[in-house]
Amino acid sequence: MASVIAADNPGAAVLLMGNEAVARGAIEAGIGVASAYPGSPTSEILPAIADVSGERDIYVEWSTNEKVALEVAAASSFAGIRSLAVMKQNGLNVALDFLVNLNMTGIGEGGMVVFVSDDPGAMTSGNEQDSRMAAKWFDNPLLEPENAHEAKEMVAWAFEFSESVNLPVIVRGVTRLCYTRGNVVLGDLPAGMRKKARFSDVWDMYNPTKSKFTATPSPVAHRLLHEKFEKAREILENAPFNRYSGPDNPELLIIATGVSAAYSAEAVDVLHLKERVGLLKMGALWPLPKKTILQWLSRTKNVLFVEEMDAFMEGSVMELWAGAGLHDGGIRFHGKCSGHFPPCNEQGADLVIKALTDILKIEHQLIDADYKREAAEYMRLVPNRPINMCAGCPHRATYWAIKNAIALDGRNGFVCGDIGCYAMGFGPPGFFQARTMHAMGSGTGVANGFGHLGRFGFDQPVIALSGDSTFYHAALPALVNAVYNRSNFTLLILDNGATAMTGFQPHPGTGVLATGEPAPVVDMEALCRATGAEVMVCDPFNLTETTQAILTMMKKNAGVRVIIMRHLCQLVKVKRKIAPRYSMRVEPEKCIGESCGCDRLCTRVFGCPGLMWDSRAGKAMIDEAICVGCGLCADVCPAGAIRKEEVH
Amino acid sequence: MSGTKRGSRNLLEDVLKAGLCTGCGACVTGCPYMAIHEGRIVVLDRCTIEDGDCWRHCPRTPTDVSGFSEKTQGVPFDFLEPGAIIAVEMVRSVDAAVREKGQDGGVVTALLAFALDEGMIDSVVCSKKDAGGAPHGFVARTARELLECAGSSYEAAFTLEAFRKIPAGNADRLAVVGVGCQMEALAKMKAAAPVNGGNPQNVQLTVGLFCGWALRSDIFRPLLEEICDTSRIVKFDIPHSPGTSFDVYTKDAGKISIPLDDIRPAINPACQYCWDMTAEFADISAGSAGSSFHGWNTVITRTPRGAGLMKRAVAAGIIEIQPLPESRMTKLKASALNRKKNALRNLARKSGTREDLGYISGLPAGLVDALLKD
Ligand SMILES: Cc1cc2nc3c(=O)[nH]c(=O)nc-3n(C[C@H](O)[C@H](O)[C@H](O)COP(=O)(O)OP(=O)(O)OC[C@H]3O[C@@H](n4cnc5c(N)ncnc54)[C@H](O)[C@@H]3O)c2cc1C
Ligand code: SF4
Ligand code: SF4
């Protein structure tokens, strides 16, 4: 069945997830290239485009990291073909070094959109950040959609905008936008032949930025950038994404960006404040459309800013107001500055309601008592699911071996963790082993540094972790650095055959492209060997052998040692319909449970969700619905009570 | 009898981290939270049991020594004497082949082989040296296997690990060979059987070894590897004269003597807190200290059970006996008492007060002060 993303049915309203709407917008704009590195909450955009890449003639790729993704997309724009690069907030940081040069050089004749999603509340991330700050920091146009439909419209529009100002355009999403479904009215699909890609060979004296993509001489390029920026501002003054609704002279003006506009509208509605409060919904944010904003500021005495994460609009508008010399206007500003919104976590209509009742001194019972009681009752029905690795997850096996190896080694060794499912290793699923975690590849980078502290008396063995995809993304330079600079640590590459955390996207080691077509395998083992590191490969499910291998490598205490922990992600096994290996059961007579000699090792410490503790019987049980028959717990049970039988 | 109820968390703090672990091997078997690695007990993870076997049986958790003596030896405890004594004699194996393989007079091996032979016991928990000469707990079921275990290793052998590995329900009647701390742990197991593994009720005979100290493998092994090919080691010895060398016998190089002082850094620091030179909680204890001649053991027969075995072994022509000269006896007693004083002194220094002697409790009031007055 053809994907709805590419349905040629203009005017039809379809239900799309925000991420799909972004994909659709890019397709309507006729992009030729889409590139991304997987990262929730944006991971679904590229696959949606990949699904129709054949019929729409679009080149898609999972790049090894976001900087490369951005570079791949930029080349296409340089050659006149529209391009989309997609990343999450952390990815933008990786790509920034290219982006801060790209806006200086311009993007050529093919429009370019960089879709970046932030993750307020860090629901799928290790950090919280407001990516919009980047736009202000290095002068890059910025848009922020309110809902799925606007996301589609805005992305499509952004390509033209990009071309008219010769700059990449950042479209900022948030998790709520990316993962919420909404009605999207489809537009026209591009028709006719795609234009030929061509990198201009003409040295245009009068318009060098169109044919030359270097930012030198920088002062000139920087001046040109600011000229383009003023042009961009003019365009945004009239962009269709900034709208006002409310009285002509509102008692209070809400300035809300992106999804916050929807929360704000809801709050105004709930409090019946349409006659008193105005809402300036902003989607075209940067360069700041000064005229539009000043026009509304001059009509009110109270402003409330509502936006996800930092005080981006709030600060910018206050600067504008101060600079415009309108102080006598006597406006009171509210938002993060007044403490009505926290500078972190997700916001919502509730917070807006609270702010409005406080500022306008109105009574409102936020949640009535009955509702509260009912909600609490429902909450009781929701099972408490602590974060955990899946049943059958090879990371649990690896961490078990690491934990035991570190204890046996006895020199207070520790783990420098990294980004991926195995980041959970800081808590119970990884037996509290991961002790540092920052950016992609940082486990290896930080381990590099520890490896040189021996001269200051540091004598603890260091283990760095890297996922397979993370390895290609950013750990490889750190590994090369480590070998070159003669650092001292053991790197464990957790090769589970997929970018598991974000949805099993392929990577250079998997032999598969974003489109599902076969690809050459970039041999991780050979790559590591080529650096000069000592390399071995283990299956973490052989617990004893793996523990011994880690121990041996730790003990070497010189140079860089690499162990590739190779075992397929359990969910990939399920996707590939690989049948469970064992059928598992607990023999209750043998289970010694809470007594000395076990103390519920399997359910209390090992913690595979496929095991349950029957507190009434005082015995462990297999949860048939969750157990995937990996057999690992049978090797962990000290009483031989967990039996595994090979399934034929 | 044993004092407090605790678990592995306390074992970690109060014994392992406190530098008191002797390497007896009592705690580790049957516990998934502990392991032996390179001569150390390692705690692998957090156990929440608050009344654990590990704590109950460790010889370095609070022990009411006089209570134990009465229970295991059937006689009141006299801290000033080297345990219960029926006889102290010089003894050796009649069989020259056993003497040759044995450490001193081969008495331990000879007696146990005899006990197996006459059917007093079915198997012996002892210690066997691996290809590199490192000791491990082992269960010998035949005289031949026993002979393979003859000869001392001076490293802590964790022998009781093997004892605890014998499944509950196994009906073998057992003898256990070990140094003082191991006899103490075994006595604790007899007082309160382990929850899983090890059958102290089946122990028919305990043979103690005199012990001055044991070595820590993690320090001793690298030293040893420097001086010889450890796979060629035949025997270790610390000859009484001149009393300053540690001898390693190898297949190719014969005897290699190392100054004892070079070995001392590898002595388990925990041994300075040990009061029990002659393995007082055994049925029979054997050493060489005190004996007049090379190739003879000094043997203390402590219990009627031990005495009966000695008597039958002499009658069967397995061992031969000479009286121990009075002067030697005096010397043996003096060094055993000296050991106790040292242990008390070191424990008092560790805690900072004579009121707190760490794991030792139950000593008569005034005794400690009297012993430590000089
Ligand atoms: C660590 C250690 C320190 C000792 N220190 C002294 C001392 O200071 N003064 C003294 O007079 N005697 C000491 N001995 C005892 C002495 O070495 C002999 O074991 C004893 O004299 C018996 O001699 P044998 O010829 O009858 O032994 P054998 O017939 O050779 O039998 C020795 C038995 O000891 C067991 N064994 C060997 N190594 C160990 C070990 N590390 N731990 C537990 N069991 C082991 C063997 O399994 C064997 O069954 C020590 C023994 C050990 C193990
Ligand atoms: S199944 Fe095994 S590990 Fe789990 S509680 Fe029972 S004895 Fe302990
Ligand atoms: S002395 Fe024995 S029981 Fe105590 S911790 Fe050491 S090995 Fe375990």
- A389-423: per-residue pLDDT in tens? 999 999 999 999 999 999 999 999 999 999 988 99
**A292 reaches B (C-beta below 8 A):** no
CA–CA separation, B112 and B103 (whole Å): 14
CA–CA separation, A605 and B236 (whole Å): 43
Task: Count the alpha carbons within 13 Å of A38 in the hemisphere toward its beta carbon.
Answer: 20
A637 touches ligand 2 (CB under 6 Å):
yes
Tokens, residue B160: 């009781």
The answer to whether B44 contacts A404, with C-beta atoms less than 8 Å apart, is yes
CA–CA separation, B294 and B239 (whole Å): 9
Contact A16, A177 (CB under 8 A): no
What is the B315 CA–ligand 2 centroid distance (Å)?
52
Please, what is the average pLDDT of chain A?
A: 93
Ligand nearest to the CA of B25: 3
Q: Within 10 Å of residue A44's Cβ, how many Cβ atoms?
A: 21
**A216 reaches B (C-beta below 8 A):** no
A217 upstream amide cis, omega within 30 of 0:
yes
| Closest listed residue to residue A180, CA positions, set A374, A33, A50, A346 | A346
Q: What is the pLDDT of residue A141?
A: 97
**Measured from the CA of B24, which atom of ligand 3 is nearest?**
2
User: What is the Cα B102 distance to its own chain's centre?
Assistant: 16
Helix (H) or strand (E) holding A279: strand A277-282
A333-373 per-position pLDDT tens digit: 999 999 999 988 998 899 999 999 999 999 887 777 788 88
What is the A604 CA–ligand 2 centroid distance (Å)?
10
Across A212-224, b (16+ Cβ under 10 Å) vs e yields bbebeeeeebeeb
- Complex confidence, ipTM: 0.89
Q: What is the pLDDT of residue B74?
A: 75
- Which residues, in sequence order, are bridge partners of residue B30? none
CA–CA separation, A155 and A132 (whole Å): 16
Q: Within 10 Å of residue A391's Cβ, how many Cβ atoms?
A: 21
CA–CA separation, B306 and B327 (whole Å): 24
Contact A612, A623 (CB under 8 A): yes
Which amino acid appears at position A138 of this protein?
F
A235-269 per-position pLDDT tens digit: 999 999 999 999 999 999 999 999 999 999 999 99
A120-138 per-position pLDDT tens digit: 999 888 899 999 999 999 9
Residues 132-151 of A with CB under 8 A from B: none
Q: What is the pLDDT of residue B91?
A: 97
Q: What is the pLDDT of residue A205?
A: 62
Contact A201, A23 (CB under 8 A): no
Ligand nearest to the CA of B294: 1
What is the B131 CA–ligand 1 centroid distance (Å)?
18
CA–CA separation, B204 and B157 (whole Å): 21
Q: Decide the pairing of beta strands B297-301 and B284-287.
A: antiparallel
What is the A618 CA–ligand 2 centroid distance (Å)?
10
CA–CA separation, A491 and B149 (whole Å): 42
CA–CA separation, A145 and A143 (whole Å): 7
* Alpha helices by DSSP H, A203-348: 218-237, 259-270, 290-297, 312-323
The answer to whether A410 contacts B37, with C-beta atoms less than 8 Å apart, is yes
B9 CB-near residues (< 8 Å, 6+ apart): B46, B47, B48
B288 touches ligand 1 (CB under 6 Å):
yes
**A599 reaches B (C-beta below 8 A):** yes
**B359 reaches A (C-beta below 8 A):** no
HEC sequence for chain B = CCCCCCCHHHHHHHHHCCCCCCCCCCCCCCCCCEEEECCEEEECCCCCCCCCHHHHHCCCCCEEHHHHHHHHHCCCCCCCCCCCCCEEEEEEECCHHHHHHCCCCCHHHHHHHHHHHHCCCCEEEEEEECCCCCEEEEEECCHHHHHHHCCCCCECCCCHHHHHHCCCCCCCCEEEEEEHHHHHHHHHHHHCCCCCCCCHHHEEEEEEECCCCCECHHHHHHHHHHHCCHHHEEEEECCCCCCCEEEEEECCCEEEEEEHHHHHHHECHHHHHCCCCCCCCCCEEEECCCCCCCCCEEEEECCHHHHHHHHHHHHCCCEEEEECCHHHHHHHHHHHHHHHHHHHHHHHHHHCCCCCCCCEECCCCCHHHHHCCC
CA–CA separation, A367 and A357 (whole Å): 14
**B52 reaches A (C-beta below 8 A):** yes
Mean pLDDT per 10-residue interval, chain B, length 374 residues: 74 94 94 93 94 94 79 78 94 96 96 97 96 92 96 94 92 97 94 87 96 94 92 89 88 90 95 96 91 86 96 97 92 94 95 91 84 81
Q: What are phi and psi of B187, to 5 degrees?
A: -65, -40
Q: Which residue of A has its CA nearest to B42?
A: A408
B147-201 per-position pLDDT tens digit: 999 999 999 999 999 999 998 889 999 999 999 999 999 999 988 888 887 899 9
Contact B354, B372 (CB under 8 A): yes
**A592 reaches B (C-beta below 8 A):** yes
**A412 reaches B (C-beta below 8 A):** no
Q: What is the pLDDT of residue A208?
A: 57
Contact A396, A428 (CB under 8 A): no
Q: What is the pLDDT of residue A309?
A: 95
B194 CB-near residues (< 8 Å, 6+ apart): B30, B53, B56, B57, B164, B200
Task: Count the alpha carbons within 13 Å of B21 in the hemisphere toward its beta carbon.
Answer: 27
**Measured from the CA of B156, which atom of ligand 3 is nearest?**
7
The answer to whether A597 contacts B53, with C-beta atoms less than 8 Å apart, is yes
Q: Within 10 Å of residue A244's Cβ, how many Cβ atoms?
A: 17
What is the B15 CA–ligand 3 centroid distance (Å)?
8
- The DSSP code for A197 is P
The answer to whether A596 contacts B196, with C-beta atoms less than 8 Å apart, is yes
Tokens, residue B310: 């000695």
A599-631 per-position pLDDT tens digit: 999 999 999 999 999 999 999 999 999 999 999
Q: What is the pLDDT of residue A82?
A: 98
Q: What is the pLDDT of residue B333?
A: 94
Long-range contacts for B270-273 (Cβ within 8 Å, ≥24 apart)? Answer: B270/B19, B270/B20, B270/B21, B270/B22, B270/B23, B270/B60, B271/B22, B271/B211, B271/B212, B271/B213, B271/B214, B272/B213, B272/B342, B272/B343, B272/B346, B273/B20, B273/B60, B273/B343, B273/B346, B273/B347, B273/B350, B273/B358, B273/B359
Q: What are phi and psi of B267, to 5 degrees?
A: -65, 130
| Closest listed residue to residue A51, CA positions, set A91, A14, A19 | A19
- Which residues, in sequence order, are bridge partners of residue A31? none
CA distance to partner chain B, nearest, from residue A588 (Å) = 16
CA–CA separation, B287 and B297 (whole Å): 6
Rounded to a whole number of angstroms, the CA Rg of chain B reads 19
Return the best residue to mutate from B8, B31, B60, B216 for the ligand 3 pocket (most ligand atoms within 8 A of CB). B60
Q: How far is CA B339 from CA A105, A216, B215, B336, in A?
A: 85, 84, 17, 5
| Residue minimizing CA distance to atom 6 of ligand 2 | A591
CB pairs under 8 A between A and B: 50
B106 touches ligand 1 (CB under 6 Å):
yes
User: What is the Cα B360 distance to its own chain's centre?
Assistant: 17
Structure-model confidence comparison of residues B297 and A4, the more confident one: B297
Contact A145, A151 (CB under 8 A): yes
Q: What is the pLDDT of residue A203?
A: 60
The answer to whether B45 contacts A431, with C-beta atoms less than 8 Å apart, is yes
The answer to whether B37 contacts A595, with C-beta atoms less than 8 Å apart, is no
Helix (H) or strand (E) holding A69: helix A66-78
Residue A61 confidence (pLDDT) above 90: yes
CA distance to partner chain A, nearest, from residue B53 (Å) = 7
Cβ-Cβ contacts under 8 Å, B43 against chain A: 407
| Mean pLDDT of the A541-545 span | 97
A632 touches ligand 2 (CB under 6 Å):
no
Angle between the N-to-C axes of helices A290-297 and A218-237, in degrees from 0 to 180, rounded to the nearest 10: 50
Q: What is the pLDDT of residue B165?
A: 93
Q: What is the pLDDT of residue A206?
A: 66
The answer to whether A407 contacts B44, with C-beta atoms less than 8 Å apart, is yes
Q: What is the pLDDT of residue B73?
A: 72
Q: Is the dihedral of CA A370, A375, A381, A384 positive or negative?
A: negative
- Which residues, in sequence order, are bridge partners of residue A83? A33, A112
Return the best residue to mutate from A587, A590, A594, A598 for the ligand 2 pocket (most ligand atoms within 8 A of CB). A598
Q: What is the pLDDT of residue B67?
A: 74
Cα dihedral A270/A271/A272/A274 (nearest 10)? -100
CA–CA separation, A191 and B55 (whole Å): 80
**B40 reaches A (C-beta below 8 A):** yes
Tokens, residue B78: 């006299």
CA–CA separation, B278 and B300 (whole Å): 8
Q: What are phi and psi of A88, to 5 degrees?
A: -90, 180
The answer to whether B52 contacts A596, with C-beta atoms less than 8 Å apart, is yes
- Which residue ranges form the domains of chain A, and what is each CATH number? 2-185 (3.40.50.970), 243-360 (3.40.50.920), 394-575 (3.40.50.970), 582-646 (3.30.70.20)
For chain B, the structural domain boundaries read 8-72+345-372, 87-215+267-335, 217-266
Angle at B254 between CA B253 and CA B260, to 5 degrees: 100
**B30 reaches A (C-beta below 8 A):** yes
Cα dihedral A280/A283/A288/A294 (nearest 10)? -10
| Residue minimizing CA distance to atom 4 of ligand 2 | A602
What is the B192 CA–ligand 3 centroid distance (Å)?
16
3-state DSSP assignment of residue A195: coil
| Mean pLDDT of the A273-295 span | 97
Q: What is the pLDDT of residue A1?
A: 44
B134 touches ligand 3 (CB under 6 Å):
no
User: What is the Cα A495 distance to its own chain's centre?
Assistant: 21
The answer to whether B195 contacts A605, with C-beta atoms less than 8 Å apart, is no
Q: How far is CA A28 from CA A25, A154, A157, A186, in A?
A: 5, 11, 10, 9
CA–CA separation, A65 and A471 (whole Å): 10
B285 touches ligand 1 (CB under 6 Å):
no
Tokens, residue A483: 């070998």
